[in-house]
Structure 1
Amino acid sequence: MTDHSARLSSPHEHIFLGDNHERNERRTWIVIAITATMMVAEIAAGSIYGSMALVADGWHMSTHAAAMLIAALAYLYARKNARNPRFTFGTGKLGELAAFASAVVLALIALLIGWESLLRFYSPVAINFPQAINVAVIGLGVNLLCAWLLRDDHLHHGHGHHHGHSPDPDHDHARPHVHDHGEHAGDNNLRAAYLHVLADALTSVLAIVALVLGSLYGWDWMDPAMGIVGGLVIARWSWGLIRDAGRVLLDYVPADEELPEEIREVIEGEGDRITDLHVWQLGPGHHGAIVSIRTAVPQEPSIYREKLAHIHELSHVTIEVEKAA
């Protein structure tokens, strides 16, 4: 007895986008516009006034703008194809793919910063401290504004969740199940864009510290030293994002994930035993599950699905029921 709820011709939709998908997409485009404007202004001003500090910072911002473009395009494509039946379980995980790519770009930026800083130790360059400090302060202000726009609210108001179950006239599964909850699922695509802005802000802060100390005490070595520190911190952020996005892409279930155990507690009992259980993330705040049950008294899959209806993270459930020997 099997509930086939993932067919291409399935009558229900598989939209597993994050709760704030459109808001996050809109804010990402705004941040890209701000970053690109600042980038063009710095490169133009640096070329006109002969400031390599301005030109370098402008091109540095361009790499982050390009990385954030990955996030914005992923939001756009996922939204446009949310109802495309060719995506068997929707486009909710496209953001994880974009986050993984952005994390790789962030790692490359960390390597470049570290390499350039090492070169500066062996080949110091003359620094125009007042001008460089002004550039760093302006850049920090822009980055803080962008970071505020890309902040991820960890808590939000309750909302309706649509569980993509197959319609069943006997149990009224055509009606969406609605559950209120306050826990906000993290959006790694937004996190990737946020980390790029944060990385830029970090380099600005470290640059300001190094430049102020250099101008006051003549510690020119502080500039490349802070660059290496910044590169190491950004590399660590990158690794964390690669790890988290990669886990979702590979359907990895973290050791502290309570959802599988919660499903077992609900289903098992009175002779019902789960013989096979698969749980994976479909998108921010959405999980899918395949539950194989062996029981002496088989019931309709809809009965077991009703038992799981209160688990708001479950947005798509496939139930298989086998009669025990």
Structure 2
Amino acid sequence: MHTHQLEKWTHDHVFGQDQQREGEKRTLLIVLLTAAMMVVEISTGLISGSMALLADGLHMASHTVALGISVFAYVISRRLASDRRFAFGVGKINSLAGFASAILLLGFALTMVIESTGRLIDPVAIVFDQAIMVATIGLVVNGFSAWVLLSTPHEHGHSHDHTHTHTHDHAHEKGHDHNLRGAYLHVLADALTSILAIVALLAGKYMGASWLDPLMGIVGAALVTRWSFGLIREASKVLLDSQADDRKVNVLRAAIEHGSSDRVTDLHLWSIGHGIFAAEIAIVSDEPRSPEHYKSLIPAQMEIVHATVEVHRCLDH
């Protein structure tokens, strides 16, 4: 068989990963905003002597680094999209970045607990007016940043016509973008910190309840920890090639077996990136058809971009 005859039977594993995503541009904007606010908070904290504001600025610095990781993940995914060393493309870089962001969030939460506990034991003087003003500005910036990331439109991939699978358009749901979710959680954690700080500072200024400042820090740390574990759990499923949820597996099995003597004896369905899946299917049948026939039965909305089908004749008939 000549090389040109083989071309229609071969394919790449880019799966649209070489295209710039809307999340990348928006995350870059948030990195710049967060970095600018970080400089303002740290500078004001040093000038005013407000340890609370300085600590908040340092927290924002850690989030700037985490958001930078998110942008790096988007860029490196695009540049390595055609690298054949990656068996199923570079989609998992997205989840790896989300996992790293979640770990940083846990470190951020631990730092909040340590600092808050220290302030409960040994309270520090707070310059309330300056701290409230800058914390309010920080809340506005974080609120805007969260809105920008939350409003990122759903992305739609390219139609892939592969001989070994079916032609379809797969929609990438934002919920599958662990990298974008990690960036959003960092911004949300900053916004939460600002809200709790403002409440505590107002209570301290007008009610003398300075102890609320460190207490709110502990409450915020608990919420951030919960978000972190949720993101770690979701990203880990992709990184460890976990089987897709039972509903999705059952839909695929029913589509293959519907109205025939065909039976699926082995089925693996797992995520290989942002809203895209791979599948391996073993079928036993009294009257087996070609692998291409069974691939054509896979519902387009299942977003399966790589499918391998193994067909066997039932020896009992």
Greater helix fraction, Structure 1 or Structure 2: 2
Q: What is the CA distance between 1:44 and its match in structure 2? A: 3.3
Going from structure 1 to structure 2, the CA distance change for 1:17 and 1:103 (only over 3 Å counts) comes to farther
Question: Which of 257, 260, 269 is equivalent to 2:249?
Answer: 260
Q: What is the CA distance between 1:283 and its match in structure 2? A: 1.3
Partner of 1:134: 133
Q: What is the CA distance between 1:42 and its match in structure 2? A: 2.9
SS at match of 2:227: helix
Q: Distance in 2 between matches of 1:21 and 1:115?
A: 40
Question: Which of 163, 167, 173 is equivalent to 1:166?
Answer: 163
Partner of 2:26: 27
Structure with more relative contact order (C-alpha pairs < 8 Å, separation 6 or more): 1
The number of residues matched between the two structures is 307
Q: Distance in 2 between matches of 1:46 and 1:270?
A: 71
Partner of 1:323: 313
Q: Distance in 1 between matches of 2:74 and 2:157?
A: 21
Name the amino acid aligned to 2:199: V
Partner of 1:243: 233
Identity of aligned residues (%): 47
Q: What are the Cα deviations for residues 105-142 of structure 1, in whole angstroms up to 9, with x where unaligned? A: 00010011011111111101111111111121011111
Q: What are the residue-to-residue correspondences of 1:8-157 with 2, within 5 Å?
A: 11-16=10-15, 22-153=21-152, 156=154
Kindly indicate whether the alpha-carbon contact (under 8 Å) linking 2:18 and 2:81 is maintained by their aligned counterparts in 1: no
Q: What are the Cα deviations for residues 255-284 of structure 1, in whole angstroms up to 9, with x where unaligned? A: 4x4221111111114221111100000112
Name the amino acid aligned to 2:24: E
Kindly indicate whether the alpha-carbon contact (under 8 Å) linking 1:163 and 1:316 is maintained by their aligned counterparts in 2: no
Consecutive unaligned residues in structure 2, runs of 5 or more: 1-8
Question: After alignment, is 65-74 or 306-315 more displaced?
Answer: 306-315
Q: Distance in 2 between matches of 1:136 and 1:261?
A: 50
Q: Distance in 1 between matches of 2:294 and 2:89?
A: 24
TM-score of the two chains, using structure 1 as the length reference: 0.86
Going from structure 1 to structure 2, the CA distance change for 1:206 and 1:48 (only over 3 Å counts) comes to closer
Going from structure 1 to structure 2, the CA distance change for 1:26 and 1:182 (only over 3 Å counts) comes to closer
Name the amino acid aligned to 1:316: H
Q: Distance in 2 between matches of 1:254 and 1:55?
A: 44
SS at match of 1:150: helix
Name the amino acid aligned to 1:107: L
TM-score of the two chains, using structure 2 as the length reference: 0.89
Q: Distance in 2 between matches of 1:99 and 1:302?
A: 36
Going from structure 1 to structure 2, the CA distance change for 1:59 and 1:292 (only over 3 Å counts) comes to same
Question: Which of 172, 195, 217 is equivalent to 2:207?
Answer: 217
SS at match of 2:284: strand
Q: What is the CA distance between 1:177 and its match in structure 2? A: 2.1
Question: Which of 301, 307, 311 is equivalent to 2:297?
Answer: 307
Q: What is the CA distance between 1:63 and its match in structure 2? A: 0.3
Kindly indicate whether the alpha-carbon contact (under 8 Å) linking 1:16 and 1:282 is maintained by their aligned counterparts in 2: no
Name the amino acid aligned to 2:162: H
Kindly indicate whether the alpha-carbon contact (under 8 Å) linking 1:12 and 1:165 is maintained by their aligned counterparts in 2: yes
Q: Distance in 1 between matches of 2:40 and 2:154?
A: 37
Q: What are the Cα deviations for residues 293-313 of structure 1, in whole angstroms up to 9, with x where unaligned? A: 111222111111111153442
Kindly indicate whether the alpha-carbon contact (under 8 Å) linking 1:152 and 1:190 is maintained by their aligned counterparts in 2: no
Going from structure 1 to structure 2, the CA distance change for 1:91 and 1:139 (only over 3 Å counts) comes to same
Going from structure 1 to structure 2, the CA distance change for 1:259 and 1:21 (only over 3 Å counts) comes to farther
Kindly indicate whether the alpha-carbon contact (under 8 Å) linking 1:165 and 1:317 is maintained by their aligned counterparts in 2: no
Q: What is the CA distance between 1:183 and its match in structure 2? A: 5.9
Kindly indicate whether the alpha-carbon contact (under 8 Å) linking 2:92 and 2:272 is maintained by their aligned counterparts in 1: yes
Q: What are the Cα deviations for residues 134-154 of structure 1, in whole angstroms up to 9, with x where unaligned? A: 12101111111211221155x
Question: After alignment, is 312-321 or 18-27 more displaced?
Answer: 18-27
Q: What are the Cα deviations for residues 55-80 of structure 1, in whole angstroms up to 9, with x where unaligned? A: 33322211000011111111111111
SS at match of 2:272: strand
